Amino acid sequence: MVLTLVWLFLLLCNSSVLVGSLNDEGVALLSLKRSVSDDPERSLNNWNSSDDNPCSWNGITCTEGKVVSISIPKKKLLGFLPSALESLTVLRHVNLRNNKFYGSLPVGLFNAQGLQSLVLYGNAFSGSIPPDIGKLSYLQNLDLSQNFLNGSLPTSLIQCKRLRSLDLSQNSFTGSLPSGFGTALVALEKLNLSYNKLSGSIPSDMGNLSSLQGTVDLSHNLFSGPIPSSLGNLPEKVYIDLSYNNLSGPIPQSGALVNRGPTAFIGNSGLCGPPLKDPCSSDTTADGAPSSSPFIPNNSSTTPDNGSGKSGRSRGLSKSAVIAIVVSDVVGIFLIGLLFSYCYLKVCDGGKGKDARGNNFEKGSKGRKEWLCFRKDESETLSENIEQYDLVPLDTQVGFDLDMLLKASAFVLGKSGIGIVYKVVLEDGITLAVRRLGEGGSQRFKEFQTEVEAIGKLRHPNIISLRAYYWSVDEKLLIYDYIPNGNLATAIHGKAGIPSFTPLRWSVRLRIMRGIAKGLTYLHEFSPKKYVHGDLKPNNILLGQNLEPRIADFGLGRLANIAGGSPTLQSNRMSSEKPMQQQSAPSEVITISPTPSISSGSCYQAPEAMKMVKPSQKWDVYSYGVILLELISGRSSVIQMGTSEMDLVRWIQLCIEEKKPLSDVLDPFLAGESDREEEMVAVLKIALACIQTSPERRPSMRYVSDAMAKLTTSTN
């Protein structure tokens, strides 16, 4: 009995010695472990009191025996942050993103005055930001997005003068921005305050933030008043998103605010002027104030009255001036008619016995252009009468000409309503993709040239590059880079008649999703004309050497329309002069599946596309959302339900309404990647936002791309 008591006494003494051996920082971190009520991945399993210090613990980094970093992201930790963390006096970095932490931000956390990075996004923190944040004079990265934080932004925030990245989006912050926001935080490179309840006017000193890059996102708030013209002082490459606020007045046309698409300003019923369709009244200036310009009449003007009730400044033209203008117009029209008649007799009659259309094009006549003679039976709507008989390169890297193209071997890749696509292999081994737009119709060459050359200037790693084109009466060709790994539809579902199929891993799918988002963002926000694709679907997303996505068929419908004729009517020859050697290559043919009763193509179209003629960027957002659902579920856009059919969007919505388990929605091939389930759920949420019935409720592609970029995963 005595020996037993002695043994217990020694054991207790030994335990106290072991606990006492852990330093103060380790004790503080153990308080964090105790505050975590659920650790499903056992991320904190090796946080033991028996260690001398915490430097070997998961997620902990030390320098000279002191804790400088806590990084435990995406581990599904459920708990709160204890105030004991204030013991970590030399802490530099905290990354607890995408967990399930709740409660308020502990004041003690802000006592680590050397803190440089605080990343807590994707949790459930609530309450306000403590004013002690002003103590963090070395803070460079603050990301509190996707939480439930509220209250106004503390005025002490502007004391963090080294801030380079500030993301407070998707919270419930209220009130106005702190005074001096733009003057103090001049080091800011990234700013995202979207999806809050911030109000008041946009500070005019925000134009001082000259280091900003990418998107400055102030969308989905309650900002009011005019847009300060000083925002134009921001770098021109910065995209300013002011959509869905209560802003009013004219949109300033200066600097970074010029040449922006309407999506940056929509959702503000009081805004007017370009790029919106709502014109501003003549009594307001670019700052929203009454006009004081001497060149703009003012309603309160005291212009002398001549007694007839009309201003003396609006007498108009005299009768003699009107007669002189009419006479000169008649004479001018007469002279033009004589000149046209002379040209017709000289050119057309002089060309008798020859083909006026120049169809006798031969090798050596490259670059030749001839005038066409109009005939009574020809269309009177011809906007251009110039023939093009040569291959036109759109980039300096084009090292082939028309002769090389026409001598090449051509394999049919696929057919659609807009021409045939060939895989063309030149004699030197260069491989191209050539699309024929058919023949006939109105020959609007100049319009075609303008459109195709604008498309040819687009260069982005996730968009197919148009390299050259060819135009003649009988033939219109578009020459692209050849992309070797087929399209996304085949990668998701396999190819009919080929039993072997290797499903894409989640990391590859996520990389494809991101690439598509980046390509669409470039088209919407950074291309010269803020383009819309309008017909995005897996069939026209091609996969490169490393399965990187390349968006294809951009602008194709427009070019086919300009080229004229029925887009489904295709010629049986490659060229009227030098036919290509068309060879069958079954392994290269893209199988077109039979059209079901629900058109598979229509499933990617936004609901409003059935009612509106002019496509909008939100159409592409909807299409992108459907593609995300297809990649997540592994199902096609049309799902067979017994004897009936249902589109994928409706099927997903039905699964949610019936509260089916996630496993019923996810592609069965992804079942072995349960560690990625959190990312899959996050992508599903993004997809559901994109397929909102109302286009106004869908996010911009820029916002979607940023959200996708936050989902980090392995790329192997």
Q: Is 48 helix (H, G, I), strand (E, B) or coil?
A: coil
Q: Is 547 left (phi over 0), alpha (psi -120 to 50) or beta?
A: left
**What DSSP character marks residue 17?**
H
Residue 395 CA: distances (Å) to CA of 238, 398, 405, 475, 551: 27, 6, 16, 21, 19
Smallest Cα–Cα separation from 239: which of 257, 253, 222, 254?
257
> Tell me, what amino acid is at 40?
P
How are beta strands 409-416 and 419-425 bridged, if at all?
Answer: antiparallel
**What DSSP character marks residue 503?**
P
Q: In angstroms, how far is CA 213 from the centroid of its own chain? A: 16
What's the rounded Cα separation, in Å, for the pair 238 and 617?
19
Contact between residue 84 and residue 46 where contact means Cβ atoms under 8 Å apart: no
Smallest Cα–Cα separation from 263: which of 549, 520, 514, 464?
520
What's the rounded Cα separation, in Å, for the pair 289 and 291?
6
Smallest Cα–Cα separation from 628: which of 557, 705, 530?
705
Smallest Cα–Cα separation from 227: which of 209, 208, 212, 241?
241
What's the rounded Cα separation, in Å, for the pair 476 and 460?
25
Residue 95 CA: distances (Å) to CA of 69, 73, 174, 214, 395: 8, 6, 25, 23, 45
Q: Is 656 helix (H, G, I), strand (E, B) or coil?
A: helix
DSSP assignments along 103-166, one per residue? EPPPGGGGG-TT--EEE--SSEEEEPPPGGGGG-TT--EEE--SSEEEEEPPGGGGG-TT--EE
**535 is an active site residue:** yes
Half-sphere exposure for 709 (CA within 13 Å, toward CB): 9
Q: In angstroms, how far is CA 20 from the centroid of its own chain? A: 55
Q: Give me the residue label for tokens 């005939």.
A: 375
Smallest Cα–Cα separation from 30: which of 60, 8, 7, 65?
60
* Residue 146 CB contacts under 8 Å (≥ 6 apart), including other chains: 121, 122, 123, 169, 170, 171
What's the rounded Cα separation, in Å, for the pair 188 and 159?
13
- Laid out side by side, the sheet with 117-119 consists of 60-63, 66-71, 93-95, 117-119, 141-143, 165-167, 190-192, 215-217, 239-241
> Tell me, what amino acid is at 412?
V
Q: Which of these is catalytic: 39, 217, 535, 647?
A: 535
**What DSSP character marks residue 525?**
I
The count of other CB atoms within 10 Å of the CB of residue 416 is 17
Smallest Cα–Cα separation from 639: which of 664, 669, 608, 674?
664
Which residue numbers are catalytic? 535
